[in-house]
């Protein structure tokens, strides 16, 4: 899953449940910052929809693999191994010294551990939960990041955004329904994935100011590929078919492809217009869950998801208005 905040993009920032961010793809041209009043080009809309479809297909493939009997840690390792190889080639790692330089090693390492932890928790949740359930919970990431940005980054939200955060968490409670049969260990895994990814996003915003884009991309996947190799090889197994092998190999491709499309969409339209398309992932995940697994989310899940989406969209719009107001003040001073 991937979540993009208006305040984060299009500057290279965090990953999306696959993380939505721009730090995974080389960006050789400056992103376009169009005026908010301009209409979003149809091409940008199509590309944004395809972006989140890639992320939805990635999670669908992961759910298929873990429910087919493959160990979650093995699937996560395959995902990051292919991601590391693609990143090395995309950034021409044999020529880029800045890709290996770390100005803040402890935080880079912590960030490199949070990302595979997020993916592992998510894949563990997908063994039991419907795709619509996991994405509904994960879409609360923008609200968590907004709440955590105050104490961790000094970016305090105003009362309106805090009200939207509280309403959004009501939506999360409706989805997870603690104290009922719906609440299970898989729900806990999904909540942990949301928390670790929120911390990952905060760290990315901080490190983007002091680290190169290529190092943020490379270390976010190479730590996982190395540290997860021993348990993955112990608990993993050879793919049982050509289809399974291709699916395992495609996980990293889908993640990188989604980020590449996100960069393209951000060059055609402003981040404030691209960001709300993250909620289209709920539609993709629900549709794929029904087509591939025959899952139909219940009414409570859809109600909670709707509340989360509306709260997140309000927060994004509020941040856009605040950014525009601050920009006008800066321009007039």
Rounded Cα distance between 109 and 164, Å, is: 33
Q: What are phi and psi of 18, to 5 degrees?
A: -125, 15
CA nearest to 72, candidates 140, 152, 17, 126:
126
> What count of other Cβ atoms lies within 10 Å of the Cβ of residue 205?
21
- CA 166-169-170 angle, 5° bins: 90
Cβ atoms of residues 219 and 204 within 8 Å? no
Which tokens in the block code for residue 263?
A: 């960069």
> Which backbone phi and psi does 65 adopt, to 5 degrees?
-70, -45
**pLDDT given for residue 17 in this prediction:** 46
Q: What is the pLDDT of residue 34?
A: 42
CA 18 to each of CA 41, 76, 104, 142: distance values in angstroms, whole numbers, following the listed order:
25, 11, 24, 14
Contact 55, 281 (CB under 8 A): yes
What does the angle CA 282 – CA 290 – CA 232 come to, to the nearest 5 degrees? 80
Give the pLDDT confidence score for residue 5 in this predicted structure.
39
Closest to 136 in 3D by CA, of 279, 293, 291 = 279
CB 81 within 8 A of CB 225: yes
pLDDT at 235: 92
Note down pLDDT in tens along the chain; length 333 residues: 554 433 343 333 333 344 434 334 344 444 444 444 566 788 888 988 998 899 999 999 999 999 999 999 999 999 999 888 888 888 777 887 778 888 888 898 899 899 899 999 999 999 999 999 999 998 888 888 888 888 887 878 888 888 888 998 899 889 988 877 778 899 999 999 999 998 988 888 888 788 877 788 788 888 889 989 999 999 988 998 999 999 999 998 898 788 778 778 877 877 667 778 888 888 999 999 999 999 999 889 999 999 998 988 888 888 778 777 776 666 665
Q: Residue 129: count other Cβ atoms within 10 Å of its Cβ.
A: 24
Q: What's residue 121's pLDDT?
A: 95
Is the Cβ–Cβ distance between 67 and 289 less than 8 Å?
no
| Res 319: pLDDT | 77
At residue 38, the pLDDT reads 62
For the chain, the three-class secondary structure string (H helix, E strand, C coil) is CCCCCCCCCCCCCCCCCCCCCCCCCCCCCCCCCCCCCCCCCHHHHHHHHHHHHHHHHHHHHHHHHHHCCCCHHHHHHHHHHHHHHHHHHHCCCCCCHHHCCCCCHHHHHHHHHHHHHHHHHHHHHHCCCCHHHHHHHHCCHHHHHHHHHHHHHCCCCCHHHHHHHHHHHHHHHHHHCCCCCCCCHHHHHHHHHHHHHHHHHHHHHHHCCCCCHHHHHHHHHHHHHHHCHHHHHHHCCCCCCHHHHHHHHHHHHHHHHHHHHHHHHHHHCCHHHHHHHHHHHHHHHHHHHHHHHCCCCCHHHHHHHHHHHHHHHHHHHHHHHHHHHHHHHHHHC
> Does 10 sit behind a cis peptide bond, omega within 30 degrees of 0 on the bond before it?
yes
């Amino acid at each position: 899953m991937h979540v993009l905040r208006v305040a984060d993009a299009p500057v290279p920032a965090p990953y999306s449940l696959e993380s939505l961010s721009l730090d995974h793809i080389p960006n050789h041209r400056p992103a376009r910052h169009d005026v908010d009043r301009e209409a979003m080009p149809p091409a940008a809309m199509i590309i944004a929809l395809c972006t989140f479809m890639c992320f939805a297909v990635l999670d669908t493939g992961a759910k298929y693999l873990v429910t087919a009997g493959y160990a979650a840690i093995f699937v996560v390792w395959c995902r990051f191994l292919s991601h590391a190889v693609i990143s090395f080639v995309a950034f021409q790692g044999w020529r880029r010294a800045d890709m290996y330089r770390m100005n803040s090693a402890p935080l880079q390492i912590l960030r490199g551990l949070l990302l595979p932890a997020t993916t592992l928790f998510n894949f563990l949740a997908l063994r039991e939960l419907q795709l619509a359930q996991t994405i509904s919970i994960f879409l609360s990431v923008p609200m968590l990041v907004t709440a955590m940005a105050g104490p961790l980054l000094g970016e305090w939200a105003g009362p309106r955004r805090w009200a939207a955060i509280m309403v959004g968490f009501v939506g999360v409670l409706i989805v997870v329904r603690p104290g009922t049969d719906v609440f299970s260990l898989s729900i806990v895994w999904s909540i942990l994935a949301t928390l670790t990814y929120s911390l990952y996003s905060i760290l990315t915003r901080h490190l983007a100011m002091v680290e190169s884009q290529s190092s943020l991309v490379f270390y976010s996947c190479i730590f996982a590929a190395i540290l997860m190799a021993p348990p993955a090889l112990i608990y993993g197994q050879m793919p049982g078919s050509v289809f399974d092998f291709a699916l395992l190999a495609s996980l990293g491709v889908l993640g990188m492809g989604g980020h590449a499309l996100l960069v393209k969409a951000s060059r055609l339209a402003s981040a404030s217009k691209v960001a709300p398309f993250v909620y289209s992932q709920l539609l993709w995940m629900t549709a794929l869950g029904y087509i591939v697994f025959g899952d139909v989310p219940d009414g409570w899940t859809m109600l909670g998801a709707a509340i989360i989406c509306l709260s997140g969209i309000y927060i994004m719009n509020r941040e856009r208005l605040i950014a525009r107001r601050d920009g006008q003040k800066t321009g007039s001073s």
